[in-house]
Amino acid sequence: MAAEAKFLAFDLGAESGRAVIGFFDGEKVRLEDVHRFANQPVRLLDTLYWDTLRLFAELKRGLAMAVTTHGAEFEGIGIDTWGVDFGLLGKDDVLLGNPRHYRDHATDGMLEIAFGIVPRAEIYQRTGIQFMQINSLYQLLSMQRAESPLLDAAQTLFFTPDLLNFWFTGVKTTEFSIASTSQMVDPNTRNWATDLIRKFGLSPHLFTDIVSPGTRIGPIRADIATEAGCGPIPVFAPGEHDTASAVIAVPASTPDYAYISSGTWSLMGIETPEPRISEATLQANFTNEGGACGTIRFLKNIMGLWLVQECRRTWARQGHDHSYADLTALAAEAPAFGPLIEPDDPAFLAPDDMIAAMHAFCTRTGQTPPDSIGATVRCCLESLALKYRWTLEKLESFRWKRIETIHIVGGGTQNRLLCQLAADATNRTVIAGPVEATAIGNVLMQALGRGHISSLDQARAIVRRSFDLETYPPSPNRDAWETAYARLLAFHEKP
């Protein structure tokens, strides 16, 4: 490359969003934040919504700030967000209501209703996606059951990043990785499972054509370019699901690894060229989501640091506002191997009080609940680390080969205690970093779309050259971890 290329990545997470400039010189990539903003859901009456219009305004503000600080010569823009949630457009592309938050309780009980329409095994066979009540399919089913007038008036469904892309460009597309989270895509054809969609009484006409990560969608609209003070910058589809972008930035140099994209959720898995759909993967509730460059992300969605985030929110309401660093320090000082929870118990998906939910779980399972802030956070982190081991063993059984290394990427890498606990619980070496994996993967897929790079291997070599990584060897204290793991397994054995 003759000069340093500039890309703008918009990375929206469940708690916050940001605009990040990626500078790429052909050998290394570096990032610079230009705008950060909160992403707080809004509860209106009994429903939890995303404030999507405000998020779009923040993206436009981020674009303007990037142009002001670094000039207008950007080679691309890319947007990644969380999965499953969507907006509906009606006549003349009017947004029909506010998009609901996946933790809204409207989908409570929808899995059982869905299985009464199409058997569980058939849904999994057609989609390869794990069963979570938050999946788009069950959100739509809940609207249908409630006889929502919005569903009747809808002409187009856009997942969150595709909706924002449409507002930026006027072009209607759906990117593969974000579409796959819906549980309405066939992972073999990599297109909509229209027969399944029709069986649920939904219209396939709601959905637009699916494009691959790295696809150039179109230039930003003239009015947005004028507002930002730039020209027609092209918008690319990166891995629009934030986990897809994060996995692109996993700095692996060999194939014998698993990844954990660690944040609000912990997404743990491997990359495969084809989906893995069997009775065993169904029973373990593993998922086959879309990846970059023709890959499938075969993984398990684990509750993640949401557990700690919600405990922190409860303590803040009680007048004890602790930073995440403070909470981790308190956890490090707490006694090891106290009470444990099953992180993916449905009680932890959207409780009114996470601490009360944890205490109820401990009481229900014959354990003494944690009695301090440090013990509570330690319970969350040790339980997550042990769930990583359970997931690792399942991955190895489906892969028929030992996994030597676990790469942890994303914001959770800043929790050094969790990284060490993950190494100890799994008895594997953990390599942590980069922290900004999602934004890095977003930028690198734009660079691939521009033709500056040509493969995932090349992208990952760039990551290794560009960012510092930290290695966590497992501790030798195996007996205590084996005893703790047996306790976690006992949760799975209970009816």
Q: Does 298 map to a domain? A: no
Q: Does 46 map to a domain? A: yes
In DSSP terms, 429 is beta-bridged to 405
Q: Are residues 254 and 226 in the same domain?
A: no
Query: CB count, 10 Å around CB of 352?
Result: 8
Number of H helices, E strands in the chain: 19, 21
Look at residue 493 in the predicted model and tell me its pLDDT.
Answer: 64
Contact call for residues 445 and 236 (beta carbons, < 8 A): yes
Mean residue pLDDT across the chain: 96
Task: Average the pLDDT over 449-473 and give the result.
Answer: 97
Q: Are residues 90 and 51 in the same domain?
A: yes
In DSSP terms, 89 is beta-bridged to 95, 156
- CA–CA gap between residue 469 and residue 433 (Å, rounded): 5
Q: How confident is the model at residue 2 (pLDDT cuts 50, 70, 90)?
A: low
Half-sphere exposure of 374 (CA within 13 A, CB side): 11
Nearest CA to 115 out of 131, 93, 91, 95 is that of: 131
Look at residue 399 in the predicted model and tell me its pLDDT.
Answer: 86
Q: Are residues 400 and 426 in the same domain?
A: yes
Contact call for residues 110 and 133 (beta carbons, < 8 A): yes
What b/e readout covers 313-346, taking b as 16+ CB neighbours within 10 angstroms? ebbeeeeeebeeeebbebbbebeeebbbbbbbbe
Q: Does 272 map to a domain? A: no
Contact call for residues 294 and 272 (beta carbons, < 8 A): no
Q: Are residues 100 and 196 in the same domain?
A: yes
Decide: helix, strand or coil at residue 406. Answer: strand
Look at residue 376 in the predicted model and tell me its pLDDT.
Answer: 98
Residue-range definition of the domain harbouring residue 420: 250-265+303-433+454-495
Which run of H or E residues covers position 383?
A: helix 373-399
| Cα 11 off chain centre by | 11
Q: Are residues 77 and 188 in the same domain?
A: yes
> Could you tell me the sign of the dihedral formed by the alpha carbons of 418, 421, 426, 429, in that order?
positive
Q: Are residues 255 and 191 in the same domain?
A: no
Q: Are residues 198 and 60 in the same domain?
A: yes
- CA–CA gap between residue 215 and residue 203 (Å, rounded): 26
Look at residue 255 in the predicted model and tell me its pLDDT.
Answer: 86
- CA–CA gap between residue 278 and residue 472 (Å, rounded): 34
- CA–CA gap between residue 54 and residue 173 (Å, rounded): 22
Contact call for residues 303 and 278 (beta carbons, < 8 A): no
The model's pLDDT over 233-274, given as tens digits with 9 standing for 90+, comes to: 999 999 999 999 999 999 999 889 999 999 999 999 999 999
Q: Does 381 map to a domain? A: yes
What is the per-residue DSSP string for 243-274? HHHHHHT---SSSSEEEEEESSSEEEEEEESS
Q: Does 278 map to a domain? A: no
Look at residue 494 in the predicted model and tell me its pLDDT.
Answer: 53
Q: Does 287 map to a domain? A: no
The model's pLDDT over 192-231, given as tens digits with 9 standing for 90+, comes to: 999 999 999 999 999 999 999 999 999 999 999 999 999 9
Look at residue 171 in the predicted model and tell me its pLDDT.
Answer: 98
Q: Model pTM?
A: 0.94
Q: How confident is the model at residue 495 (pLDDT cuts 50, 70, 90)?
A: very low
Q: Does 293 map to a domain? A: no
Q: Are residues 140 and 175 in the same domain?
A: yes
DSSP tag of 369: P
Q: Are residues 417 and 357 in the same domain?
A: yes
Peptide bond into 434 cis (omega under 30): yes
Among residues 186, 242, 344, 424, the one annotated as catalytic is 242
Which pair of tokens denotes residue 231? 């020209």
Q: Are residues 198 and 57 in the same domain?
A: yes
Number of domains in the chain: 2
Q: Are residues 64 and 31 in the same domain?
A: yes
Look at residue 400 in the predicted model and tell me its pLDDT.
Answer: 82
Residue 242 a catalytic site member:
yes
DSSP tag of 120: H
- CA–CA gap between residue 237 and residue 216 (Å, rounded): 6
Contact call for residues 37 and 24 (beta carbons, < 8 A): no
- CATH of residue 399's domain is 3.30.420.40
Name the pairing type of β-strands 210-211 and 174-175: parallel
Contact call for residues 107 and 138 (beta carbons, < 8 A): yes
Is the pLDDT reported for residue 5 higher than 90? Answer: yes
Is the pLDDT reported for residue 1 higher than 80? Answer: no
Q: Are residues 400 and 357 in the same domain?
A: yes
Q: Does 486 map to a domain? A: yes
Is the pLDDT reported for residue 58 higher than 90? Answer: yes
Look at residue 492 in the predicted model and tell me its pLDDT.
Answer: 77
Q: Which amino acid is at 131?
A: F
Nearest CA to 126 out of 209, 204, 189 is that of: 189
